[in-house]
Amino acid sequence: MLKGKTVLLGVTGSIAAYKIAGLASMLVKQGAKVHVLMTENATNFINPITFESLTGNKCLVDTFDRNFEFSVEHVALAKQADVVMVAPASANVIGKIAHGIADDMLTTTIMACRCRKIIAPAMNTNMYENPILQDNLEICRGYGMEVIDPACGYLACGDIGAGKMPEPEVLYQYILREAGYPKDLAGKKILVTAGPTREAMDPVRYITNHSTGKMGYAIARVAAYRGAQVTLVSGPVDMAPPLFADVVAVESARQMFEAVTSRSREQDIIIKAAAVADYRPASVGTEKIKKKDSDLSIALERTDDILGWLGSHRREGQFLCGFSMETQNMLENSRAKLKKKHIDMIVANNLKVEGAGFGTDTNLVTIITEKMEKELPMMSKEEVADSLLSEICG
């Protein structure tokens, strides 16, 4: 995804500078060409040799006696760059960038870059909330730069509040979204469902399934990376919400039905990856059901058929994709579901196949339409998501 891409990392004087070593390592592992530019103040927090060892490239440091080679270097790097991220970005450097001051290697290179620029402020809370700093950030946004909101937490100065640089994993996702994928879904609205549902029996117990939501979350992330406006309707899962999606948290099948159907008309593409309960208890106890010596029977009733409703109420031009988790007769059952639900595509997998199904980081799926049946090799769920979206776009 980032293989062959050139990423410039600008590191300024902040205690958070040491975290960028982890970000540089992540990028290199993904095949990116990484160049690090540091201010002199940044070298007080981390040695340039660290970045040179990680990236295999000379770390360019702020200097006022630059030789001719370095004067050319900032232009050469600017021409190669696919994306620039300044992290941590101090108040001083943000002010320089906002007002076109290029008095060191970092700011001079940024001035020469035509690619997308991403800024991750990191500083004391009072500095971050200062109206001057906020005005400078707004100026940067006005010039088309992306500003990442800092995290809130305990700061190195002892204060608690906004100003903490996000973790390298978060910064990585911003770079991946900018440089790792084509923006062929820009302007499209996509709704994705993910995870299980929980159907209450009483205030203590519920019926559910083993879905972890990993496949649906991967689809939502990749769709956002490719430029879509993503709404993720998620059952209860043990994962952080995707950064670039509007997440609607639900619990029961009925709640998911209402969340999906109320938003369906405005969507260009709907991908139903959630494992929705087919049945729920016909009545829900208001008090805990007490254990008895005899057996217990629970009457069940059908839940709302979300995919069936979508197939019957779709608007013109809308694309509908469902998922089919099977344990036997996978292709036959999935083809029948495709036809019965009146949808465009179904993604089938077999729970009994190693590397597929619930809770895994990989999946082995077959994409089925009325005219096509395509089995994908074993892939990570992000790769499956990317392939699925390419089939929909194609």
Cβ distance 125 to 134 under 8 Å? no
Sequence letter at residue 325? M
CB atoms inside a 10 Å sphere around CB 210 = 11
**Which residue out of 59, 140, 152, 157 is catalytically annotated?**
157
Sequence letter at residue 231? T
**What do you get for the CA distance between the two ends of the chain, in Å?**
19
CB atoms inside a 10 Å sphere around CB 183 = 12
Q: Please indicate whether residue 321 is annotated as part of the active site.
A: no
Contacts of 108 (CB under 8 A, 6+ apart): 74, 102
231: helix, coil or strand? strand
User: Where do runs of H (alpha helix) occur along the chain?
Assistant: 20-29, 48-55, 68-80, 91-98, 105-112, 125-129, 131-142, 168-179, 214-225, 253-261, 306-313, 330-341, 381-393
Q: What is the DSSP letter of 309?
A: H
Is 288 annotated to bind a ligand? Reply is: yes
Is 164 annotated to bind a ligand? Reply is: no
Sequence letter at residue 211? S
d(CA 43, CA 58): 14
Is 19 annotated to bind a ligand? Reply is: no
User: Where do runs of H (alpha helix) occur along 87-159?
Assistant: 91-98, 105-112, 125-129, 131-142
- Residues belonging to the binding site are 278, 288, 323, 337, 341
- Residues belonging to the binding site for CTP are 278, 288, 323, 337, 341
Catalytic annotation, residues: 157
